[in-house]
Each structure stands twice: as C-alpha cells, then as structure tokens.
C-alpha cells in the first residue's frame, strides 16, 4: 500500500530530524517487516531526514551536536535497511576516500562531510585522522574510488594535501580521481595553488561539489 | 612611517586614558613561531620553560608587538589531567587521545597540580621568566584554555558534543572539573605576575549552538573572569571560528576584550558589543599571514582599522587566531609596519581614499 509506505517514509524522516535513534530503528524494522522497499525507505525516509537536518545546519538552526545525533539515527536505520538492499543497488555508488591529513586529529569537520556524503548515496571509505599522504593514494587506487577528500584544521598539515596530489601524479593516476580539500585554514586559492579539483567551505557545500565534479545532477 | 615612540605598556596606558599615541596596539599572535626566531625546533619547547621564555622574549624584541602570550598549544591543562598529546619534532602538538573515552571515566579524573603535572610547571616557569625580563615594558599573558574546550580534550570532541544533548549533566560535571582546574592554574599564572589569557575554541558557533554556549561555556568562563578580576587583572577572551551570535554572551562573561577570529566581522562586532568590550582582530592567520604577500597583509590591516578604529572600547589590531608556525617574518613585520604607517590619530579619509582608488 503506497500510502502506508509514504507515511512510514515521513515518520522515518521525522525521526532522523528529531534525533530519535530508537524510533528510527523501530520504524526501519517496521519497514522491513511490512516488505517496504529498502532503497525507497533509505532514500525517502532516512536520507530525506538527513538532508532536512543538513538544511537546518546551513541556516544555523542546527549545530554540530544536533547534526551528529541525526546522523546517529540515520546510521541506526541504515544498519537495519542496508542488508535488504538488492545486490545491484549496492554496486552503483561512487566511492569516496576521505580522511584527515597526517599531523592533525581534528576530525569533526571530516565526519560531517562524511555523513552528508553518505546521506547523498556515496560509498565512503573513511581512513580516519592523522593519515600519511601515501595511504590516501594507496587506498584510493585499491578501492577504485572516484574522489579523494582531504581535511585539515591545522596549517601545519596543508603541505600534506599538496603531497597527496604530487604522489598521484608520480603514480600516473592523477586523472583517475577528483581531489577535494577543506577545513579551517583552507581556501579556494590554496586549492587552486596545489592543483586540487575543488574546495568546499562546509559539509553541504562538499556534497554539491562532489556531485558537480563527478557529473551528477546536484 | 614613524618608528615606535612608546613601549607597549606606555601605549596601552595612554590608550586607556584617551591620551595621544604613536600607533594603535598591534598583536600578531605569536606562539610556536617564536621557535623560528631562535632557530630551535618546536618540540624543544616541551618541558623547557627557559627556552619558551627566551624564544618569546626574542620574538617580542624582533617584531616589537604589544602583548607577549606564553602559548604552545591548547592541550596543556588537559594533558596534565591525563589526555595524551602527540609532539611532532618540529610542528605544533596535537591531541593523540582524550583522557577518558566515556562518562564512566569521569570519576577517575583528577585535578592537576600546576607545579607538578604535565607541562604546566614549565609553562609557569616560562611566564615567570618572561615577566621578570620584560614585564615592566610589555604585558605578558599566560594562555589559559577554557573549561568547555578542556572538557572536549578530556573525553573527546565527538563524545562531548553528543553529550551536550544526550547527557547535559555529564557535560556540566566535566566542565566544572575543568573549571576547577583552570581556576587553580589561573591562580598560579597570576602568581608569576602574568595575566591569564582565555581561549575557548570549542565554544565557537561553528561547533555548538548559542544556547549551548550559554549553558556550557559562558557560566564557567564567567567564574574564571570573576576570579581574574578579583586579582585585579583584565582578561581577554578568544573564541575561534564563527561567534557573531554569541558576542553579547561573551561580553556577559565580564571579559574586558574579545579576540575575534577572521570568520567573524569586526564592524558587526563593534556595532553589537563595542560599547562594552575592547575588540582584538582579525587578520586571517592562514590565508593572509601565512600564505599572503606583504601587500595583502597591509591591506588586511587597513581593513581591520577601517572597520573598528573607532570602537568605543578600543581596538587591538591582531591576527584572527594564533599564527601558523611558518608565518614569514616579513608578513609579521608588514603587519606592524602597516599599523605604524596608519599611525595616530587614524586618518579615516586616507584609509577610505586608498580603498576607492
């Protein structure tokens, strides 16, 4: 029954925006029990809710704590719904390797970008923080990623971003990946200077940038 | 351009009383860049109060700015309470691991003894030596990390920000503990002759909401400001990132001066709280001071002065945050020179004319 599904999607979306992890979990189980399409429940429920949260973040009604709790709810739902995705639905997504450059352990910004990209349907390989440049290259090649996303809050680690790009050139794989950079001390001018493909000032902007770079409609 | 005629102390005294000056006060916030002035490694500062003092004094003499701030990183208090800090050989330290990983660990946390634990004794030594050497001619401050920020290093930022919504009582417990520690350390800083200089980076609205700042940041900061005032000293409060929605709440802490990051606008700050607090800021540390040309530094300084030279409680031309270690000396010189070139009184027409040209 489409109406039943519709109202469940709304409820899922509301539970995510409302930071209600337990309710999101229950509603996800309910979706599975009722045989509702898992992909639709993710897209029209969980992701829709996370996108609403992202908008509230952009308009400064939500801040990092709210966004993190929304993402906790989203992930709780994803854990339940993902195993019910059809096989091919799991294969079509672009991969993004993301991490905080070596010399820095500030990772809240990186985590927000990861959450919003994940909510937008990208497959994320999160390397974590304090990551040596070579590892970004190795992991990107190995996982056949489309995008490498580099984050830092410290000016001392900005050179590490340039090094990742140099290493990609050296390995003759630069054209295989789009490289995006972000974080407190980073600017568009810096991104241009080191030859990155793009810079985003925040998590929602990073999603738009990635979609633009890999040619999907934003 | 005229050379400086007043010492920083004389300059501030004249500025307070509305007397003539040679130029506006100017503070490129030099932390670990001081290592470059002496040609030592940043990690040499670890556990070496004498070296920190020598480097800070040398940097002050090299550039001639108006406040010395004894600072290497924000983690000293959290480290003394059990957080693990990583010290790269020649770069600024960073947090490796918080002291605890969940609220279960709160009970195990203990207040630090500033004369014994972590790097606190060495920082106090640096403050005392610097104050003894040049404290009569230039204000010497000791960096004091705000309770909310220290709490984030104790339990991890991700944990702490989630707890602000899930378990506010635990956040208060952590902030209260961090505040008690900060009060003890502030007392020790004051005993060296220095005034504490407060930084509460995580209180930024880039991270938490204004409501959360009022609940978890402001009350603890106020306790610290009240304590420092009780010892007869003025205090500057710096919060990184975006702060526009909390300027009034920051002023409500009682701080005498707000140091504003380049993510915020000095002119808007002047309109909102300029009648209550002195403003300090806000040349971009990375984009301009580290990566920019001397001409860009000069233009950024002139923009700050244009916006806030007539702030009712005064302006200190400063970098928006601590300078990156490798900031070129030429850019620090250019910052001071731009302020010297503007001189005193500020000729607004001249600033505007050049902008229009």
Question: Distance (Å) from the C-alpha of residue B287 to the closest C-alpha of chain A?
Answer: 7
Sort out which chain A residues have CB atoms less than 8 A from B245's CB and list them.
60
- The pLDDT, as a whole number, for residue A215 is 80
Do the Cβ atoms of A24 and A15 come closer than 8 Å? yes
Chain B CB contacts of A64 below 8 Å: 161, 206-208
How confident is residue A217, by pLDDT bands cut at 50, 70 and 90? very low
CB-based contact B161 A108, cutoff 8 Å: yes
- B320: nearest CA partner in chain A: A185
Is B286 in contact with A155 (Cβ distance < 8 A)?
yes
Tell me what pLDDT residue B295 has: 97
CB atoms within 10 A of CB A202: 16
Question: In the sheet where A95-101 sits, what is the strand order?
Answer: A123-131, A95-101, A147-151, A178-182, A198-199
Contacts of A152 in chain B (CB under 8 A): none
Average pLDDT over residues B247-271: 96
* pLDDT reported for residue B230: 98
Nearest CB to A105 within list B96, B161, B291: B96
Strand partners, B125: none
Nearest CA in chain B to A69: B162
CA gap B76, B72 in Å, rounded: 8
Distance (Å) from the alpha carbon of B327 to chain A's nearest alpha carbon: 10
Q: Which fold has domain A2-89?
A: 1.10.1240
Q: Is A22 exposed, middle or buried (0-12, 13-18, 19+ CB in 10 A)?
A: exposed
Domain shared by B157 and B183, yes or no: yes
Is A63 within 8 Å of B208 when comparing Cβ atoms? yes
CA pair distance B128, B93, nearest whole angstrom = 23
User: Which residues have C-beta within 8 Å of that of residue A110, sequence separation ≥ 6?
Assistant: A98, A99, A100, A126, A129, A149, A151
Burial of B16 (0-12, 13-18, 19+ CB in 10 A): exposed
Beta carbons within 10 angstroms of residue B101's beta carbon: 11
Say whether both B157 and B42 belong to one domain: yes
Structure tokens at A126: 């999160």
For an interface test with B, which of A60, A63, A112, A161 has the most B Cβ atoms less than 10 Å from its Cβ?
A63
Backbone angles phi, psi at B233, to 5 degrees: -120, 150
Q: Residue with structure tokens 């480097």?
A: B55
Q: What is the pLDDT of residues A78-134, one digit of tens each?
A: 999 989 988 666 666 899 999 999 887 888 889 999 999 988 889 999 999 999 999
How many structural domains is chain B composed of?
2
pLDDT tens for B125-166 read 999 999 999 999 999 999 999 999 999 999 999 999 999 999
B198, β-bridge pairs: B144, B237
Q: Let me know if residue B274 belongs to a domain.
A: no
Instruction: Name chain A contacts of B324, Cβ cutoff 8 Å.
Output: 155-156, 185
Q: Is B96 on the interface with A (CB under 8 A)?
A: yes
Residue B263 in any domain: the answer is no
Residue B267 counted as domain residue: no
Separation of alpha carbons B227 and B253, rounded Å: 11
User: By residue range, what is the domain housing residue B129?
Assistant: 31-255
User: Cβ–Cβ of B325/A63 closer than 8 Å?
Assistant: no
Residue B42 lies in a domain: yes
What CATH number is associated with residue B91? 3.20.20.210
Q: Is residue B268 part of a domain?
A: no
Quick check: A161 contacting B, CB < 8 Å? no
What whole-number percentage of chain B has pLDDT above 70?
A: 99
Residue B36 and residue B21 share a domain: no
pLDDT grade for A30, boundaries at 50, 70 and 90:
very high
Work out the minimum CA distance from A189 to partner chain B, whole angstroms: 8
Which pLDDT does position B357 carry in this prediction? 63
Chain B: closest CA distance from residue A187 (Å): 7
Residue found by looking up tokens 């909401």 in the block? B209
Residues B189 and B322 in one domain: no
Contacts of A184 in chain B (CB under 8 A): 240-241, 286
B215 and B347 belong to one structural domain: no
Residue A155 predicted with pLDDT over 90: no
In a domain, B270, yes or no: no
Residue B198 DSSP one-character state: E
In CATH, the number for domain A93-213 is 3.40.50.280
| Per-residue pLDDT at B192 exceeds 80 | yes
Are B88 and A103 a contacting pair at CB < 8 A?
Answer: yes
Mean pLDDT of B24-38: 97
Is there a contact between B208 and A19 if contact means CB atoms under 8 Å apart? no
Tens of pLDDT, residues A170-200: 999 999 999 999 998 899 999 999 999 999 9
Query: Domain check: are B3 and B79 in the same one?
Result: no
B93 inside domain:
yes
Nearest by CB to residue B92, choosing from A60, A156, A189, is A156
List the domain boundaries for chain A.
2-89, 93-213
| B42 plus B133 within the same structural domain | yes
Asked if B238 and B93 sit in the same domain, the reply is yes
Question: Is residue B249 pLDDT above 60, yes or no?
Answer: yes
User: What are residue B317's DSSP bridge partners?
Assistant: B26, B281
CA A204 to chain centre: 10
Residue at B56 is within a domain:
yes
Between A40-44, B84-88, B349-353, the lowest mean confidence (pLDDT) is in B349-353
Residues B236 and B144 placed together within one structural domain of the fold: yes
Q: Check A187 against B165: CB less than 8 A apart.
A: no
State what percent of residues in chain B have pLDDT above 90: 96
Distance separating alpha carbons of residues B65 and B60, to the nearest angstrom? 6
CA–CA separation, B228 and B255 (whole Å): 10
Name the least confident of B92-96, B142-146, B339-343.
B92-96
Q: Domain check: are B191 and B203 in the same one? A: yes
Mean pLDDT, range B174-196, rounded to an integer: 98
Q: Angle at the Cα of B58 (from B52 to B61), degrees rounded to 5? A: 140
- The answer to whether residues B120 and B22 belong to one domain is no
What is the band of A216 on the pLDDT scale with cuts at 50, 70, 90?
A: low
Same domain, B120 and B249: yes
Rounded Cα distance between B356 and B289, Å, is 24
Question: What is the nearest CA distance from B347 to chain A, expressed in angstroms?
Answer: 32
* Region B291-311 average pLDDT: 96
Mean pLDDT computed over every residue of chain A: 91
Average pLDDT over residues A123-151: 95
Residues of chain A contacting residue B286, judged by C-beta atoms under 8 Å apart: 155, 158, 184-187
């Amino acid at each position: 029954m489409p109406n039943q599904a519709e109202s469940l999607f709304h409820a899922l979306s509301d539970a995510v925006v409302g930071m209600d992890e337990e309710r999101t979990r229950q509603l996800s189980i309910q979706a599975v029990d009722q045989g509702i399409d898992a992909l639709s429940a993710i897209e029209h429920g969980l992701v829709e809710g996370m996108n609403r949260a992202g908008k509230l973040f952009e308009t400064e009604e939500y801040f990092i704590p709210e966004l993190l709790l929304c993402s906790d709810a989203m992930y709780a739902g994803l854990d339940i719904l993902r195993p019910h995705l059809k096989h091919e639905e799991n294969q079509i997504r672009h991969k993004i390797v993301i991490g905080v450059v070596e010399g820095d352990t500030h990772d809240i910004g990186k985590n927000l970008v990861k959450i919003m990209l994940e909510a937008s349907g990208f497959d994320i390989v999160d390397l974590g923080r304090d990551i040596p440049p070579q590892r970004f290259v190795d992991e990107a090649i190995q996982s056949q990623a489309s995008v490498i996303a580099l984050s830092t809050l410290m000016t001392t680690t900005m050179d590490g971003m340039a090094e990742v790009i140099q290493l990609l050139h050296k390995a003759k794989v630069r054209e295989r990946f789009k490289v995006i950079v972000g974080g407190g001390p980073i600017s568009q001018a810096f991104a241009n200077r080191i030859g990155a493909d793009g810079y985003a000032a925040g998590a929602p902007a990073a999603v738009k940038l990635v979609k633009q770079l890999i040619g999907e409609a934003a | 351009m005229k050379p400086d005629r007043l010492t920083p102390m004389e300059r501030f005294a004249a500025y307070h009383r509305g007397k003539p000056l040679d130029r506006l006060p100017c503070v490129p916030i030099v932390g670990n860049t001081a290592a470059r002035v002496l040609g030592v490694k940043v990690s040499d500062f670890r556990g070496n109060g004498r070296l920190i003092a020598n480097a800070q004094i040398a940097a002050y003499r090299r550039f001639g700015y108006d406040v010395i701030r004894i600072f290497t990183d924000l983690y000293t208090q959290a480290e003394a309470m059990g957080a693990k800090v990583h010290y790269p050989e020649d770069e600024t330290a960073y947090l490796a691991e918080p002291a605890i990983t969940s609220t279960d660990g709160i009970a195990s946390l203990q207040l630090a003894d500033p004369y014994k634990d972590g790097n606190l004794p060495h920082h106090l030594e640096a403050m005392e030596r610097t104050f003894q050497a040049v404290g009569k001619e230039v204000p010497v401050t000791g960096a004091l990390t705000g309770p909310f920020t220290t709490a984030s290093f104790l339990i991890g930022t991700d944990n702490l920000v989630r707890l602000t919504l899930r378990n506010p009582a635990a956040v208060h417990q952590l902030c209260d503990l961090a505040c008690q520690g900060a009060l003890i350390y502030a007392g020790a800083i004051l005993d060296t002759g220095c005034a504490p200089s407060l930084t509460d980076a995580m209180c930024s609205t880039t991270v938490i909401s204004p409501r959360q700042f009022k609940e978890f940041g402001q009350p603890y900061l106020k306790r610290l400001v009240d304590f420092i005032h009780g010892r007869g000293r003025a205090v500057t409060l710096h919060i990184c990132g975006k702060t526009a929605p909390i300027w009034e709440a920051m002023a409500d802490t009682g701080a005498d001066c707000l140091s504003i990051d380049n993510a915020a606008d000095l002119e808007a700050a002047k309109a909102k709280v300029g009648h209550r607090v002195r403003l300090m800021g806000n040349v971009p540390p990375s984009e301009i001071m580290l990566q920019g040309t001397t001409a860009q530094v000069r233009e950024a300084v002139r923009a700050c002065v244009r916006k806030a030279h007539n702030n009712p409680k005064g302006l200190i031309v400063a970098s928006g945050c601590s300078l990156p270690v490798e900031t070129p000396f030429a850019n620090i010189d250019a910052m001071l020179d731009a302020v010297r070139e503007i001189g005193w009184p500020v000729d607004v027409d001249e600033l505007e004319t050049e902008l229009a040209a």
